[in-house]
Structures are given as structure tokens and as C-alpha cells.
Structure 1
Amino acid sequence: MGTVATTEKRHSHASDKLHFPRANLQTITTLGKGEFGEVLLSKAKGIEENEAESVVLVKSLQSRDEQLQSDFRREAEMFAKLSHPNVVRLLGLCREVDPHYMILEYYDLGDLKQFLKISKSKDDKVKSQPISTKTKVSICAQVARGMEHLSNHRFVHKDLAARNCLISSQRRIKVSSLSLSKDVYNSEYYHYRQAWIPLRWLPTESVFEDDYSTKSDVWAFGVLMWEVFSLGEMPHSKLSDDDVLEGLKMGKLKLPAPDGCPSKIYKLMVRCWAPGLKERPSFTDIVHALGDQPPDSKV
């Protein structure tokens, strides 16, 4: 996640308030490896005012790389400044010893990608529940509202995808940044010019010019909508990474309409993938477009 730089002084003041004693954290399990180090699911004692214990997400910084350390601080600063029901909250920081920890909110059903895939599972052991069109639209609208909040604060996510959103059993959604790129979602990242990038979620300008903006987040949001309506399919699953790169270069990459996807919704996806930045809608436009959907519209 990228953001704007801020002064050291303000940064240290905010982190004092967020200091959380490591002794009050108990690891439940390791979810995987992210760009900074291990991502853990933990129990935190007394981190939420009215709860004795909360299940939280812990991102650890296990790298000596200066750029990664700076990115880690930036991400923590960003979450500390944001306050929106559809964006994950930063609950605390542990920085007295290495590795440093960032403690973030967690939702009981985990990441949205898993939820979508389980919903169409044929496995009897898994309790799969079909997701209605109304719920799919609600999921997309909630992500759009979270992203509108980020863009209003001039923050750029850079890795918006179903795998980076959390979902609760009440179908509430929060935009997060798990970025479990090293193992769990290895196939969703591509090694290009010394970096792991979410190639199938990025527009031409991000891949070839390293240009990330709210408008590249809008492109990724179009792909996320497609993921929701295709129940967690891999975008361009029939194409190799090289084919996707080639398609981006030629400006010929477009995902097909998922089965049963309302045409209005698909048209909105296609607008998100406009080659020109100015042609792509803003997150405010998207919030309005999704809010105007009649609840059971099949159009």
C-alpha cells in the first residue's frame, strides 16, 4: 500500500498511543507469509475496550530491507489515520523488540476469496451457501465505500483484490492488506522487474510504468467485482502470465461477463477497465452506481 509521507514527529506521537504490550498477544496460527514477513492470527488481551480478548491479525516485519521497513511504517501510518466501517482498523503496534508487529482487526470468516470459493464448493464437509445477487452487489458496494474513504485521504492501495478483503458472518466487508503473496496466493502474483506484482489485477500504466493511483485501484476494483460475480475464479485463468502481459501491451485484455451477472454490473466493470485514466469512474461514482441497484435486480 502506498501513501503520502508525513513528519516523524506526528508519526511517533500516533504510535505511542497505539503501543501494545507483546506479552498480551498469543499466537493462534500462522496464516502465511506476506511481503514483510509472517502474518499471524492471534489473541490479544484487552486491545478492544469492551472485550477481554479479541482475535486479531498480526503482520510482522522480518526484513532488514530499508524500503520494506519504510513501506511497513507507511502502511501502519495509513491504517492509523483511516476510520471507516469498511476499512480494517489498526489496533496496536509492538515496536519494543524485533520483529515489529502491526496489529489489525480480523473478521471471523477470513478473506473474501476463500469465502467465495467455499460458497460453490461441492465438498460435503464444507457448509456451502449460495450467494444471492443482492449479497454480491452489497459486497462490492461495501468495498467501494471503503475504497472511496481511502481515495478521499489520498491513499493508494496498490493490491486491491478479494484475497485482501475480510468478511464477517453478517456479510460485512473490510478492505485490508493481507498480501499473503509468498505462499497462500502465490499464483496470484507475478515476478516482474525485481518485484512481485498482482499482474491480473493491474492496468497497463502500473505494470509497465510503475504508476499507481486511485485510478489503478479502480481498475483492480473492476477485477474484484468480477471475482465476486464469478465466485472467486482466477482472472484470465486460461491465459499464462506472459499472455496477460502481452494482452495488456496490446490493450486487448477484457474479462468476460460472469454467468448470471446483471448487465448493469458488467458495464460498470468494463468502465473500470477503460484504457484512459480519465474514462475510469471515481470510487464515488461507483458507490452511487452500486447504491442505485434495485435490491433484487436481475437486469
Structure 2
Amino acid sequence: MLALQASLILTLVLLSGFDYAIGSEAVEHHLAHKVRSHKGGRRHRAANYGKLRFEPEPYSKKMELNSTGKIHCKVAGGDAPAVQWYLNENDPLPEGLTSSNGTLLVTSASRDHAGKYTCRAVDGNHTITAEISLDIVVSPRIIEPPPNAQVSATAGATVTLHCVAAGEPRPTTAWDRNRTQLARTPGVEVESSTNSSSARIVILNNGSLVIRNASAADSDRYGCLAGSAAGLARNELQLTVHEEGYMPPSESVGVGSKAVVVSISVAAAYMLLVAALMLYCRRRRLRRRQRGEKMELEMAEGREKLVEEAGDDEKQKVGNGTAQNGRLLHPDKDSDAVNSEVSAVSRASKKSGQYEHLTLPRSLLSEQITLGRGEFGEVLLAKIDMQQVKKLKNKDLSDGEPEVRHVLVKTLTTKDENQLAEFRRQLDMLSRVRHDNVVRLIGLCNEMDPHHMLLEHTDWGDLKTFLISTRTQEEHARYLSIAGPAHPAYPRPAHSVPLSEGHAVAIAAQLAAAGGKIASKRGTHRDIAARNCLITSSLQLKLSFPALTRGPNSHEYYKHHDQVIPLRWLPSEAVLEGDYSTKSDVYMFAATVWEIYTKAELPFTKLNDNSVLERLKNGNLEWTVPATVPESLAALLKRCWSKSPADRPQFKEICETMVTVVKEVTAANEVTDSNDSGDALNVENALD
């Protein structure tokens, strides 16, 4: 009976014009069902049938000289395809390379291993091939200056600082001053420009930095940055310019002379300390006196206002407080004692001075550019002179050279009480958190509406754009084919800078340090993602708050219950119950590390927002750890993605684990340059 049914189906397929050699899915499914019912040992056969294909297709790779690595070639479809790697198209693999189950193993990469390789999968009469390129590189290494070098010069002299680096391919070099690129600084010229002969500061074509007629203002930390397709490296030096006639202390000074010098120094330091304490006490008494006069004036004005408004019972109420044109007023609790005249006036006085120490005039902002719209209003990029900011906060500070920096400006135009509370929450948290991997709160422009929150910005912009620029052509094309038109993709720059394994784990460790510092201050971020992180030219990460809900990242947000949320980065308790905590930040930290290792792919790219939300509700939204993630870090990420917040680790444990992971990766890659995991990490600072 089985043979008769199979013959009838086969005859129908041939009459319809189909090629039986390829096979119809209906026939295979029917036959597989029959075989499964009679021969249990061949149940797996039906699942493997289909068109022979690569999933995913192999892509080109760059490997460090003398390192070990793997290139995977995974095949789907067919019955039992045989997968093999070849040099070029059919040549045998060179010594040191082996092919095992579709994986190309490189035991010790040498320059002879660079070239074209082909992965061939054969299943009966069907064959598919994929070609990749293997490049052997040497990470940049800075020869000069050595790390933390000290350079002294006399005022008026010409100072030459050399930046020499080695690596394959040959790295290009750049100079920065206090982490600000010199090539973009006004007054700095390159050797090939027309004004180089008259400029005081010139960057030569060979990478050297020349400072003519040096002055004390040139004293600062200068960084030599070397970069190539193999990665990045950076060394710093300290330049100190002394006045003419200054004599540095001699090493041959006797013990008695040294004792005299030490005694004089201690006495001078004591006198300076006493003078500083006297000045501090004087200014503190003056501020108290001014505050007392101000309070008396406000009390008088408050009495007049209470008399004028005694009969006005129609105040606008929003929630438990009053919202006035987006001003930062705290909600007042109703009670007979609290609503007395003195209490009302004292509370108003307290509110008016809460953000006084952050106040800056918006006239300091220049060259404002709109980036998009955030949760409170427009988000701008502007410039500000930090020298003027310092002078406003310290009246005794003398005038100095302008320090123009970029700042992120978050405007407050909403009148919604929940958004006003969130604006205050971010202000309060950033004013309490001080860390190298968290953006600094520059100030608050609140003399008129709308209020402006000013945040630190970096020279290399956001982490997401940086990660996209590190993709290879093949990786970018593969992601575009997966994402499709539903999720708009960023344009990829023509010249990419690959992200090494050491760089990736270093950035992840810095993110853990930032999250740990916020958690230690009992704060929560609530929107940790690559788009909300900044990166500097020395690969220093800074966790920020742009939160561009409208703009280039708008497709990464989802409107849920009248709230715009980063759906794909949040755990279920935050989405479904609005329960944000340190444990939800831990979940988002792991999602951002996933972005780092996937070069800023969108989480769950193949699912639309409604499907992601439905899977969160059902508890079957599963994360997949990228293959390039180290095993110890992969285990940590899986714990961070636990469905129960109680099963997720604390940030303190995450920071300690990241220190261990960085050491393991550094030891495995035999990295000699400590910049990949040293100065820029500051992981342990989060625990201070």
C-alpha cells in the first residue's frame, strides 16, 4: 500500500512539470511522515532536506600575527553535506591551517597564511562555495613617546614632540591635547597647509608636533594616537614649560640642603592652607549673610503674594504638585502645618536655590545644532567655553585661554509631571555621580523657559555609530540583508577600523564600571544602550543620556501605555510593570555588550516590535550570545538576562568579573600595550 501511494504522488509531480531530482516539499513531507511511522531510526532525515545553503555565510577576517583563531563555515539543508576549506579555490591548506567539520583552524598565524580561502560544501550532485580573505596584521605599537613621559622646556623655546609607531599595516598618527584632537583646534596647522610657516603650533607630516615660542599655557598632557586596520594605540606625555631662568632641583644636593628645602616647602604649604581656610570661612560668612537677606526679601514678597491671592482658589494642579511652564517645582503635600505662611515661604526659598550651583547663562552656548527629539524636548549639540564656566563658578579665577568644548543640550519643553520628575531625577543623579566613564553634568540654564540641561560630549560621538564604522564590508552587507526595510540601517563609512577582541572587552568593562558607579549611588539609568554611550579618540567610554526618541534612533523606541520605551533593551518587569531597578540596568548592560560584539546590530532584528512584546509577555524571548564573546563573559551575560531579577548579579560582581575577563583576554592575545586594558578602563573606580 505504501509503495502504491508513493508511485501515485510521484506520477502527479512528473505530470505537473516539476524536477523530481530536486524534489517537492509536499512529496518529501509525505514520504518522511510515512518513513517516520515505520522506521523510527530515520526521523531526523526530513528536517535536513531543503536547499543547500550557508547559515551564515563565511566572512573575511583579520588576525593578529602569531595568534590563534577559527573561521566557521556552517551549512544548512541537504542530507549529509561534506564541508572542506581550500587555499584559493582548490589548493591544499598551508602548514599550520587545518579544516575540521567546516571550521578553519589557525594554530599560529603567520604572514604566509594571508590570502584567499574557499569553503566548499558538497551534498551528492549539489555544491556551493564561499570565498573569504584572511589578513594577518600587527596591532599598532607606539615607540615614541614612551608611556607617561615627562618633557620640560623653557618659555620662548621651540619644542618638538615625536610620535613614532609601528605595526602592519603601517599606522597613521595623530596628536591630542588633554584628549581633544589638535588637528581640529583653532591655531594648529599641518605642515602641508599654507599657514604652516607662520603658525605657532604645527603638526609635521612625519607625525611630530612642533610648538614655537612655548609658554606656560602650553603645559598640559599630550597624547600620541596611532591607528590602522589592526586597531588603535595611545601614549601620553606631560609637557611642562618653565619660565626663563628656572633651575630644576639637582639630584646631587646634600641631605642638609634637602632638609631645608623640605622644611620651607612644608611651611609654605601650611601658610597656604591657613590662608585658604581663612578665605573659605570669610566667603561662607558672606554667603550666609546674603542668604539671610535674600530669605527676608522672599518672606516679605511671599506675605504680599499670600494677601493678593488669598481669595484665589483656582490654582492649576497637576498630580500632587503645580507645573508652571515646565519650571522645576517640587510637589507640595497638603497639611495644615505645612501650608502655613512661614512654611510656604521657606519652601519656596529652598526650591529656588536647589539648582543654584548648576545655573549657567545660555548666552555661553554657541553653534547649536539639532540632533533630534528626546523625552523632554529637542536635543541639541552646541559649543561652550569651559574657561568661562570655571570663572563663573570661581569668581577669583583669572582669565585664561578659551577652552571650547562640545556639549549635549537637553531642552525641557514638556509640561507633563512625570517627565518633569524624570528631568529632575537625571539632574540629581548626574550631580551626585562623578566617574571617568559617566558624562559630566556641565550645568543648567534655568533663567528662562525652556530649561537646558548641559552634558559633556566627546570628540568621536556615540558608541553605536563608532561600532558600525568597525564593520567590514561583508558584515555590513550581511546585516542589511537581515534587517531589511523595516529597520533603517546607518550608512557605513568607506574606511572601517576593525575592533579587536581586546578593545571590545575593554569597552564592555568600562560600561560595567559606569553602571557600577551609578548603582553605588543608589541610582538607575533606565536606558543603557550603545546609542546612549559616547566614545573618545582614546577609546574611553562615557555613559550618557541623549535618548533620541525621534531622529536616527527612533526605530529603537516603542510607545507602550503612553510611554516611549527602549523595548528591545528592557526586561519584562520594566516593560510590563514599570519596575525599574539596578537589576533592570544589569539586563540592559548585557544587551549593550551584545551590541558591542555584534557591531551595533538591532536586538531581535528579525522580529517586529509587537512580536518582541508578545514574547516578553509569554516569557520566551531568548538572547543568543555571539560566537566571538569569551566564555567567561558569555556565562555572565546569560545570568544578566535571567527572567527573574533576583537571579541577576549585582554590578559589583559584574565589575569584578570584567576585571578577570580583561586579564584573560589580554593574556590570551599576549598584548604588550597596556592601553587596551589599563588606563582607559578604570573598572575598579566604580567600587570606590
For the criterion TM > 0.5, the same-fold answer is yes
Structure 2 residue 397 is matched with structure 1 residue 57: no
**Residues 133 and 296 in structure 1, CA contact (< 8 A), matched pair in contact too:** no
Of 451, 463, 466, which residue of structure 2 is paired with 1:112? 463
Take 1:217 and 1:120, find their aligned partners in 2: how far apart are those partners?
27
Alignment correspondent of 2:621? 253
Alignment correspondent of 1:282? 650
Of 555, 564, 577, which residue of structure 2 is paired with 1:209? 577
Structure 2 residue 389 is matched with structure 1 residue 19: no
Alignment correspondent of 1:296? 666
Take 1:43 and 1:269, find their aligned partners in 2: how far apart are those partners?
38
Of 384, 392, 404, which residue of structure 2 is paired with 1:44? 384
**Residues 47 and 54 in structure 1, CA contact (< 8 A), matched pair in contact too:** no
Alignment correspondent of 1:185? 553
Structure 2 residue 436 is matched with structure 1 residue 85: yes
**Residues 507 and 540 in structure 2, CA contact (< 8 A), matched pair in contact too:** yes
**Residues 94 and 102 in structure 1, CA contact (< 8 A), matched pair in contact too:** yes
**Residues 262 and 298 in structure 1, CA contact (< 8 A), matched pair in contact too:** no
Take 1:72 and 1:153, find their aligned partners in 2: how far apart are those partners?
18
**Residues 30 and 39 in structure 1, CA contact (< 8 A), matched pair in contact too:** yes
**Residues 32 and 182 in structure 1, CA contact (< 8 A), matched pair in contact too:** yes
The structure-2 alpha-carbon separation of the partners of 1:24 and 1:203, relative to structure 1 and needing over 3 Å to count, comes to same
Take 2:556 and 2:440, find their aligned partners in 1: how far apart are those partners?
25
Structure 1 residue identity aligned to 2:577: E
**Residues 117 and 231 in structure 1, CA contact (< 8 A), matched pair in contact too:** yes
Task: State the 1:35 CA deviation.
Answer: 0.6
Task: State the 1:295 CA deviation.
Answer: 3.4
Please state which structure has a larger fraction of its residues in strand. 2
Secondary structure of the residue aligned to 1:296 is helix
Name whichever of 7-16 and 188-197 sits farther off: 7-16
Take 1:278 and 1:10, find their aligned partners in 2: how far apart are those partners?
39
Take 2:433 and 2:457, find their aligned partners in 1: how far apart are those partners?
16
**Residues 28 and 41 in structure 1, CA contact (< 8 A), matched pair in contact too:** yes
Structure 2 residue identity aligned to 1:31: L
Alignment correspondent of 1:194? 562
Alignment correspondent of 2:294? none
Of 17, 31, 34, which residue of structure 1 is paired with 2:371? 31
Structure 1: unaligned runs, 5 residues or longer: none
Structure 2 residue identity aligned to 1:34: G
Alignment correspondent of 2:423? 72
Secondary structure of the residue aligned to 1:178 is coil
Superposed CA offset, 1:214-258 (max 9, x none): 001101111011000001000000111122112212222222222
CA RMSD after TM alignment:
2.2
Take 1:195 and 1:241, find their aligned partners in 2: how far apart are those partners?
14
Point out which structure has higher relative CO (alpha carbons under 8 A, 6+ apart): 1
Name whichever of 125-134 and 164-173 sits farther off: 125-134
Pairs aligned (count)? 295
Secondary structure of the residue aligned to 1:295 is helix
Structure 2: unaligned runs, 5 residues or longer: 1-329, 332-346, 392-399, 474-490, 670-688
Take 2:421 and 2:465, find their aligned partners in 1: how far apart are those partners?
30
Alignment correspondent of 2:514? 146
The structure-2 alpha-carbon separation of the partners of 1:251 and 1:13, relative to structure 1 and needing over 3 Å to count, comes to same
Name whichever of 131-140 and 72-81 sits farther off: 72-81
